[in-house]
Structure 1
């Protein structure tokens, strides 16, 4: 079964969009509820602030990964087009 070329692009974009949306939300609640409130017993406001900071860091990491992937893929396509001789 031959895979449609655009399907690979769709799965890549879908993966990174899911990572960008779900990653910070999961990070916030895991850090807040399990780590800070549950195990360490930090007060509510402090745990919310630290959880939000870590969620923003995860968001920036996911965005950076997406930008690197998009940049590296566009470079590969450009090289293959330049190598073609008509």
Structure 2
């Protein structure tokens, strides 16, 4: 399956110890083929540059406006790869 990504924003954040971390926030898109439906499916991805840690939650919605709003919320609340899955589960 062909996956595409759009990087929305990069944040440089400091942890409690004052160490800076760089996070990249993405919207991921895949073609979804289900019985009676064919179209784009959207998810989110967060990547930490320093450690290479990546968290991806695909197929969250088929609406681009919804995934954009969710991604903006993740960015605004500085969600990290460690907490992405929990945040998405609470959001759903």
Larger Rg: 1
Q: Which has the higher contact order (CA 8 A, sep 6+)?
A: 1
Mark yes or no: TM-score above 0.5: no
TM-score calculated relative to the size of structure 2: 0.32
Structure holding more strand per residue: 2
Structure holding more helix per residue: 1
TM-score calculated relative to the size of structure 1: 0.34
